[in-house]
Structure 1
Amino acid sequence: MSTFEIIGGQPLKGELTPQGAKNEALQILCATLLTEEKVTIHNIPNILDVNKLIELLSNLGVSVSQESKNSYTFEAKDIQLEYLNSAEFARKGSSLRGSIMIIGPLLARFGKGYIPRPGGDKIGRRRLDTHFIGFEKLGAKFHFNPGENFYRVEADQLKGAYMLLDEASVTGTANIIMAAVLAQGTTTIYNAACEPYIQQLCRMLIRMGAKISGIGSNLLEIKGVSSLTGCEHRILPDMIEIGSFIGLAAMTRSEITIKDVAFKELGMIPDAFRRLGIKIELHGDDIFIPKQDKYQIETFIDGSILTIADAPWPGLTPDLLSVFLVVATQAKGSVLIHQKMFESRLFFTDKLIDMGAQIILCDPHRATVIGLNQEQRLRATTMVSPDIRAGVALLIAALSADGTSTIHNIDQIDRGYENIDLRLNAIGANIKRINL
């Protein structure tokens, strides 16, 4: 387990280029199982979760070749399905939540898909019902062994069906899409997630020969085909990392340029930061955050306290609420942060309170932040990163605080952010990695 030692209180200045999108990469990598032909993927982030999934695919029999720093070719020609019954697969699959998305492609192509109950962040219940109900709608039989914590789905031939998803699950939608592209007949998915990650997956599958309409909406129609071919695909820049950098610039009173952000794919993220009073300038496809000594939170039109809440796309992504909460601690004014999706994601606020932030944790889903207006810096402290997004939020807080802070369990941060210490040190941060 590794640790960050951070000397905070210094403004940063320079350029940052976002990594490839973690959440898109996990879907795209699983989609390589749908064909025996070569699939080349560019802009793959070098992070723990993605590297674990690449290793898992390789163990499953996928031929993996690294073409350059962030580009790989995958050839799923000789899949070893017996690996799914191994103790090694049970161990590796359970440590990575993204592994759930290998089931759809395996079920579509080979008629069976097994996975141990996947792990991931400890942020509350993250049920998988949407995935398996969707597979059952397509004709698969579902089995769960509570003793082994193992999920199994099997089908002789998947058949297209109409389904209304009980929730607009991003990974659930992706998994069902990948199963449906090789099913017989037409599949209609209503209440589908429509995040840019899902749109990217659909466009990649179309290049492979799939027939999908309704991309970008919550109503998808998929006409099954008999087989798919290889293709080439480039992953979008990571919108969560872009939002994290915006928040970092505001909290540390820094002047930062974020390069090549694919601005049109960011949805309401920039406007949500603007509502906190943060100035954002668009230069071509770069975001420039000028140095601000202070920023003021808007109110609603009637003067009531602003609420920032997560919602299915095109609403605000829940993965950034931890960053919004931290940024609000130094704003002028107050805001209610409402995390609707996960009931444990706001529990990291006790660390911020220890640092001097004024936060009222109303319940597991809501926190009211009373901003300090940059008049009182946060205090340095010792913390433990509970999950990826809270971890980077605590890192931002530490970089803005006076003194030396320590963050333990930074493997959680490494799961989602590529060489974050080296990249931030290059623009003036003082982060020391200690490998224990």
Structure 2
Amino acid sequence: MGTFKIEGGHQLKGSIQPQGAKNEALQILCAVLLTPELVTINNIPDIVDVNKLINLLRKLGVKIEKLAHGTYTFQADDVNLKYLESDEFKVDGRGLRGSIMIVGPLLARFGRGYIPKPGGDKIGRRRLDTHFEGLINLGATFRYSKEEQFYGVEAKRLKGAYMLLEEASVTGTANIVMAAVLAEGRTTIYNAACEPYLQQLCKMLNRMGAKISGVGSNLLIIDGVDALGGTEHTMLPDMIEIGSWIGLAAMTKSELTITNVSWDDLGVIPAVFRKLGITVEKRGDDIHIPAHNDGYEIQSFIDGSILTISDAPWPGFTPDLLSIILVVATQARGSVLIHQKMFESRLFFVDKLIDMGAKIILCDPHRATVIGHDFKSTLKATNMTSPDIRAGVSLLIAALSAKGTSTIQNIEQIDRGYERIDERLRAIGARIERL
């Protein structure tokens, strides 16, 4: 198990470019299964979760060639469906949650899709109902082995249908869309997720010959086609990483420029950080964060009541950045209530911040009140373990702002979502070492 050793309390300076979007990559890579033709994808992040999915596709028989850093070609013209019934697949498929999105494309193109119960972050229950209910609506037969925790869907030909999703699940919407593009007739999906990454998937599928309208809204209309062709696609920058670097700059009082952020796809992220008093400047397509040597002050609501920051489906604030917001608030002037609505275990990492001296009241599994120190009392270095990707990076930011030397164990969790994070942080002056 790897460990980061971090000497905190130092200001950073320079520019950093965000990696390609992890959550987009997991959708886009599964979509290559929809066509036998060549698909070229650019700006793929070199991270554990994405590399696991690429390896799974390779074992499925997809021909994969790496052309340059972040650029690959994929050709699924000889898919090995027998792999889906192997013991090896039952192990590989459990390795990451994104593997669930191979089911829709396999079902649409080959008439069957299987997956073991996928893994991922331990942040509470993450239901798969939306995925399978959507596929059943399209005419698939569903089965589940409780002993093996193995899911399967089968259909000779999918038929378009109207559906109102119970939740605006991003991966659920992606799975249903990828199945519906090859279904017979029209599919209407209401309460569909509309995140930029889902929009990217729909635009890519349309370039491949799909007929999807309503992209960017929560009402998608899909007219099925007989076959899809090849295409080239470039990933957006990772908005979660961009938010992480904004938080890092504020907590370490550093002047940082985050380059090529695709401002139009950031939604409310800059505005939420500004509510914490952080200066977020737009410079072309870059974000500039000046050094906050005088700290930053949390706004109140118009009536003077305590600010609440909560997550919501897009265009609301992404739940993946609430952990970062919580850490940044520990050194603000003022107080804020963090309300994590979507996952009941995501706030349990706050005990580690309390050990570092943060003033946090965990109200219940979903809510925490943070009373900021205003840098009058710095966080103290400590030894920690990363419980999941986002909490791990939040603890890393806390350690970089703390006095003394901290260690973070189980950094494989951080590597699942952040590319060469120690090297990139050292390039802007961080004192971090991988042991």
Normalization by structure 2: what TM-score?
Answer: 1.00
**Structure 1 match to 2:96:** 96
What is the aligned partner in structure 1 of residue 250 from structure 2?
250
1:409 is the counterpart of 2:415: no
Partner of 1:292: 292
Q: Which position in structure 1 is the counterpart of 2:380?
A: 379
Could you tell me which amino acid in structure 2 is paired with residue 95 of structure 1?
A: G
**1:393 aligned residue:** 394
Instruction: Report the residue type matching 2:371 in the other structure.
Output: I
Give the Cα separation in 1 of the matches to 2:105 and 2:355: 46
Secondary structure of the residue aligned to 2:221 is strand
Alpha-carbon distance, 1:385 to partner: 0.3
Report the equivalent of 2:121.
121
Once the two structures are TM-superposed, the CA of residue 332 in structure 1 deviates from its matched residue by: 0.2
Counterparts of 1:263 and 1:398 in 2: how far apart (Å)? 29
- Residues 196-236 of structure 1: CA distance to partner in whole angstroms, max 9, x if unpaired? 01000000000000000000000000000000000000000
The CA deviation at 1:285 is 0.2
1:160 Cα deviation from its structure 2 partner: 0.1
Deviation at 1:277, TM superposition (A): 0.1
Q: Does residue 345 of structure 2 align to residue 349 of structure 1?
A: no
> Residue 164 of structure 2 corresponds to which residue in structure 1?
164
Equivalence for 1:234: 234
Q: Counterparts of 1:87 and 1:397 in 2: how far apart (Å)?
A: 41
Question: How many aligned residue pairs are there?
Answer: 434
User: Could you say what secondary structure the match of 2:220 adopts?
Assistant: strand
Question: Which residue identity does 1:300 align to in structure 2?
Answer: F
Which residue identity does 1:405 align to in structure 2?
S
CA distance in 2, matches of 1:340, 1:374: 29
- The 1-side partners of 2:148 and 2:400 are apart by 43
Q: Deviations over 1:118-171 (max 9, x none)?
A: 000000000000000000000000000000100000001000000000000000
Distance 2:213 2:378 in 1: 51
Letter in 1 for 2:13: K
Match of 1:421 in 2: 422
Give distance in 1, aligned partners of 2:121 and 2:95.
10
Amino acid paired to 1:201 = L
Partner of 1:51: 51
Alpha-carbon distance between aligned partners in 1 of 2:195 and 2:122, rounded to the nearest angstrom: 23
Report the AA paired with residue 352 of structure 1: L
Say if 2:283 is the partner of 1:279. no
3-state SS of paired residue (1:202): helix
Query: In the alignment, what sits opposite 2:182?
Result: 182
Aligned to 1:40: 40
Residue 326 of structure 1: CA displacement? 0.1
3-state SS of paired residue (1:222): strand
Q: Give the whole-Å Cα distance in 1 for the aligned partners of 2:85 and 2:395.
A: 39
Matched ranges for 1:315-326 at <5 A: 315-326=316-327
The residue aligned with 1:22 is 22
C-alpha distance in 2, partners of 1:387/1:87? 27
Q: Name the structure 2 match of 1:268.
A: 268
Q: Structure 2: give runs of 5+ residues left out of the alignment.
A: none
Q: How far, CA to CA, are the matches of 1:106 and 1:75 in structure 2?
A: 14
Q: Give per-residue Cα distances to partners, 1:228-282, cap 9 Å, x unaligned.
A: 0000000000000000000000000000000000001000000000000000111
- SS of the residue 2:361 aligns to: strand
Q: What's the secondary structure of 1:242's corresponding residue?
A: helix
Secondary structure at 1:172 match in 2? helix
TM-superposition CA deviations, 1:52-83 (whole Å, max 9, x none): 00000000000000010110000000000000
Cα offsets for 1:281-324 (capped at 9, x unmatched): 11100000000020000000110000000000000000000000
SS of the equivalent of 2:64 reads strand
Question: Residue 431 of structure 1: SS of its match in structure 2?
Answer: strand
Once residues 161 and 80 of structure 2 are traced to their aligned partners in structure 1, the CA distance between those partners, rounded to angstroms, is 29
Opposite residue 179 of structure 1, the aligned amino acid is A
Distance 1:88 1:261 in 2: 39
CA distance in 1 between counterparts of 2:69 and 2:111 reads 35
Aligned to 1:334: 335
Shift of residue 95, structure 1, vs aligned partner: 1.1
In the aligned structure 2, how far is the partner of 1:375 from the partner of 1:19?
34
- Partner amino acid, structure 1, of 2:277: G
Classify the secondary structure of the residue corresponding to 1:226: coil
Matched, 1:105 2:81: no
CA distance in 1, matches of 2:334, 2:88: 52
What does residue 221 of structure 2 align with?
221
Question: Aligned Cα RMSD in Å?
Answer: 0.3
Partner SS for 1:273: helix
Counterpart of 1:372 in 2: which secondary structure? coil
Letter in 1 for 2:348: F
Tell me the secondary structure at the aligned position of residue 127 of structure 2: coil
Q: Which TM-score applies when normalising by structure 1? A: 0.99
Any idea what SS the aligned residue of 2:326 has? helix
C-alpha distance in 1 between matches for 2:131 and 2:312: 20
